[in-house]
Structure 1
Amino acid sequence: MNINILYEDEEVIVCEKPAGVAAQTRRLGQADMESLLKNYRAGKGEQPYIGVVHRLDQPVRGVMVFAKTKEAAADLSRQVQTKMADKFYYAVTDGVPEQKKGTLEDYLLRDGKTNTSKVVSKSTEGAKSARLDYEVTAQNKTNAVLRIRLDTGRHHQIRVQLANAGIPIVGDTKYNFKETMTRSGNGLLLCSYKIGFKHPKTHKKMEFEIRNPFLI
């Protein structure tokens, strides 16, 4: 599998994860970005270390940054955990939000047995706050394209929050109960199109972006 590498130096690799490929997995025989990038580095005669510092759901395509050293991994992980790293998404929703711009704030609880999350009350044990900002960039009578900025990084956050708001993502077979298969046949219509972070060594602000793949 060819990897679309957007940027690389001695500390980081920024690349585009294809839809359907896991960022990291323990399943034997299943290709994931971690193993693909390790093989890529080994093929160049480098030490095949890859630090996974953030996640992207397996059905979701988009930009990811990986560390090439343990020091870079620690710095990037800290940025992700302290919300210093910026992550932006496009999503096609089944339905159109009433407000063209807005913020969704909920509390989510993850169920490890079913690999799903749900919106719960603030007082629920184990609940974690979830916040995102969205803006409608295009729409028709039945769908909208949303540009989303994540403020928190919870399990399946965008998918759960949009479904709870009554505008689930097209092609989401876990949370969109209006349909079991996407009309387009292109899978889950969610893409991480932009990421921003400070370089772990130079501390220079870096941003990487791919074009919006969704037209309605």
Structure 2
Amino acid sequence: MMDPARILYEDNHLIAVNKLPGEISQGDKTGDIPIGELVSEYLKVKYQKPGNVYLGVLHRLDRPASGVLLFAKTGKAAERMSRIIAEREVEKTYFVITDRCPQPENGSLTHLLWKNQKQNKSYVIQGNRTGAKEARLQYELVERSESFFLLRVLLETGRHHQIRAQLAAIGCPVKGDLKYGSARSNPDGSVCLHAHTLAFTHPVTGAYISICAPTPKNHPWTLFST
């Protein structure tokens, strides 16, 4: 069952949790238990529900990444929140650790990304290609240690492996991300990509909501003050 300490936000309509590296957002061919099942069990126990509870998956995080993951507790909230996400009215901020400093240290990136379905990998391409989509983000250098650099990334679009592919394209792959060119893996198999903040207008109440997930408590995250 979900550790209650990992619940970042909950009301009658939505629930947000801090996803750990290695957890899957949705069921896949591995057969591993998706995080949604843990959240459903948590809700059943907390509210003493005899049957199944509704839980709508609103978005996903890459398996080796961590951070804010939002679910809907009602069909109405799921429909409205999905529309908000589709219309890009959600502000998504990530923390990323790399072992190279981007040049310039603050900037924006715009690329065309094409997803190779067989490889489950996105490529930055030049020119037109069927299925290619524009990807945009902003980044800034927040802190640096002797060996690593902490970036804050604001997503403007939500493409497959967008941050991983775009940072790799400028020579700054996410630490631990072998798939996109990092020199070595992290001991726990994670990549240093953390969904830190999700901010939006509540789909039912209209209130402004900002949900933050603390960064992991292991190396190299502990090198930084965030």
- TM-score scaled by length of structure 1: 0.92
Instruction: Give the distance between the partners of 2:8 and 2:162, measured in 1 at CA.
Output: 26
Q: CA deviation at 1:118?
A: 0.4
Q: Per-residue displacement from partner, 1:65-114 (whole Å, max 9, x unpaired)?
A: 11001111111111111110111100011211121210010010111111
Alignment counterpart, residue 161 of structure 2, candidates 139, 152, 156: 156
1:163 is paired with a residue whose SS is helix
Match of 1:193 in 2: 196
Partner residue in 2 for 1:203: 206
Pair 1:113 & 2:118 matched: yes
Match of 2:141 in 1: 136
Unpaired stretches in structure 2, ≥5 consecutive residues = none
Matches within 5 A, 1:10-159: 10-27=12-29, 29-43=31-45, 44-46=47-49, 47-140=52-145, 142-159=147-164
Note if contact 2:92-2:198 (Cα within 8 Å) is conserved in structure 1.
yes
Contact 1:42/1:48 (8 A) holds in 2: yes
CA distance in 1, matches of 2:183, 2:30: 31
In the alignment, does 2:170 pair up with 1:180?
no
SS at match of 1:56: coil
Tell me, what secondary structure is at the counterpart of 2:71? Answer: strand
Alpha-carbon distance in 1 for matches of 2:30, 2:215? 33
Change (3 A) 1:207 1:118: same
Post-superposition offset of 1:41: 2.0
Is the Cα–Cα contact under 8 Å of residues 67 and 215 in structure 2 kept in the other structure? no
Whether the 8 Å CA contact 2:66–2:195 is kept in 1: the answer is yes
Q: C-alpha distance in 1, partners of 2:140/2:41?
A: 39
Q: Is the 8 A contact 1:96 1:141 kept in 2?
A: no
> Stretches of 4+ moved more than 4 A in 1?
none
Q: Which amino acid is the alignment partner of residue 204 of structure 1?
A: A
Q: 1:167 to 1:202 in 2, by over 3 A?
A: same
Tell me which amino acid in the other structure corresponds to 1:2.
M
Calculate percent identity across the aligned residue pairs. 36
Change (3 A) 1:37 1:2: closer
Q: What TM-score, normalized by structure 2, do the two folds share?
A: 0.88
Q: What is the root-mean-square deviation in Å for CA atoms of aligned residues?
A: 1.8
The number of aligned residues is: 214
In 2, Cα distance between equivalents of 1:106 and 1:28: 31
